[in-house]
């Protein structure tokens, strides 16, 4: 994997113009911010990336003003695919993203 390809995996994708807001899901994501970890699990093609992208986009109709509001500047995004199914590679992706995020990771 080249560095150029890797860096594209470290940014939140833009919300598509034809995105259909999923208010119930974005509300659940906002409530989940009160916990330590929120997992979003669904089969491929079910819209996980777009729901998360819209939830983090302050211009999106999907943003829900809940007691817990997402702060995109506090999100360390890493897009993974089948080629990232290796512990060392995954650790490198996460470390790179967290270091870019200025979280003092070693």
Domains in the chain, number: 1
Per-residue b or e along 10-37, where b marks 16 or more CB atoms closer than 10 Å to that residue's CB: eebeebeeebebbeebbebbbeeeeeee
Residue 35 lies in a domain: yes
Residue 76 lies in a domain: yes
Q: What is the pLDDT of residues 51-98, one digit of tens each?
A: 888 888 767 665 555 545 566 666 778 888 777 788 888 888 778 777
Residue 59 lies in a domain: yes
Q: Does residue 103 surpass a pLDDT of 60?
A: no
pTM score, two decimals? 0.70
Residues of the domain holding 68: 3-100
Band (9; pLDDT cuts 50, 70, 90) = confident
Residue 105 lies in a domain: no
Cβ contact 92:86 at 8 Å: no
Residue 106 lies in a domain: no
Mean pLDDT score, 22-28: 84
């Amino acid at each position: 994997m080249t560095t150029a390809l890797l860096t594209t995996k470290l940014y939140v994708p833009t919300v598509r113009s034809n995105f259909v807001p999923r208010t119930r899901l974005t509300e659940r994501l906002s409530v989940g911010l009160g916990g330590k970890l929120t997992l979003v699990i669904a089969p491929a093609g079910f819209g996980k990336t777009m729901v998360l992208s819209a939830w983090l986009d302050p211009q999106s109709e999907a943003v829900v003003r809940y007691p817990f509001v997402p702060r995109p500047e506090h999100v360390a995004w890493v897009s993974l695919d089948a080629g990232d199914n290796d512990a060392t590679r995954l650790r490198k992706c996460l470390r790179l993203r967290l270091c870019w995020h200025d979280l003092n990771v070693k």
